[in-house]
């Protein structure tokens, strides 16, 4: 699997969340694993970056490290400075700088995703525990490897 495929899986998970949950959308973590893609909604996600980092550190310890997950996605609703809402997806994998993309949220639905770019190291620092867990994934475990090889048709719902 390539980073482009990880991006597509995370975008599809974001679309699915939006369709099922509606707005406002609670942040979520996407864990693409060989058996299935897990989408973990973060109800009550804190506003403070330090508290967010602790919450994601706990999630990484409980959900990523036991299965040696080498990649992840993070989905959240955000606003541009002009107040226009957007859906943001950050995704990362072992050995790769996290990347970010976004799509405008319109009354008629989700707009087109902008081209992904590397997430600046000082941006969204609360995501570092997820990247650290991916970096420490054990390639000898079933979910290991730089990116998992998903069975055909195993996309998030």
Per-residue pLDDT of the chain (157 residues; tens, 9 = 90+): 689 999 999 999 999 999 999 999 999 999 999 889 999 999 999 999 999 999 999 999 999 999 999 999 999 999 999 999 999 999 999 999 999 999 999 988 899 999 999 999 999 999 999 999 999 998 776 553 334 433 333 333 3
Asked if 63 and 31 count as a contact pair (C-beta separation under 8 A), the reply is yes
Nearest to 68 by CA among 95, 94, 89: 94
pLDDT, residue 142, reads: 54
CA distance 76 to 16: 13
For residues 53 and 49, give the distance between their C-alpha atoms in angstroms, rounded to a whole number.
6
The residue behind tokens 């606003």 is: 79
Taking CA 20 as the corner, what is the angle to CA 18 and CA 26, rounded to the nearest 5 degrees?
55
A 10 A CB-CB count for 140 gives: 8
pLDDT of the residue at 1: 61
pLDDT value for 63: 96
Q: How much helix, strand and coil, in percent to the nearest 5, is found in the chain? A: 30, 30, 40
pTM of the model: 0.88
CA dist 66 and 125 (Å) reads 23
Strands 37-41 and 71-79 come out as unpaired
pLDDT of residue 18: 95
pLDDT at 103: 98
């Amino acid at each position: 699997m390539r980073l482009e495929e990880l991006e597509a899986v995370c975008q599809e998970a974001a679309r699915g969340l939006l369709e099922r949950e509606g707005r406002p959308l609670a942040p979520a973590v996407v864990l693409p694993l060989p058996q299935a893609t897990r989408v973990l909604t973060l109800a009550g996600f804190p506003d403070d970056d330090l508290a967010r980092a602790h919450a994601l550190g706990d999630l990484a310890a409980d959900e990523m490290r036991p299965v040696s997950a080498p990649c992840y996605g993070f989905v959240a609703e955000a606003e541009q400075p002009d107040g226009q809402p957007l859906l943001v997806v950050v995704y990362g994998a072992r050995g790769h700088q996290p990347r970010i993309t976004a799509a405008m949220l319109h009354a008629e639905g989700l707009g087109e995703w902008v081209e992904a770019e590397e997430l600046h190291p000082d941006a969204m620092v609360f995501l570092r525990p997820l990247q650290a867990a991916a970096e420490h994934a054990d390639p000898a475990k079933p979910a290991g490897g730089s990116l998992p090889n998903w069975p055909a048709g195993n996309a998030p719902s």
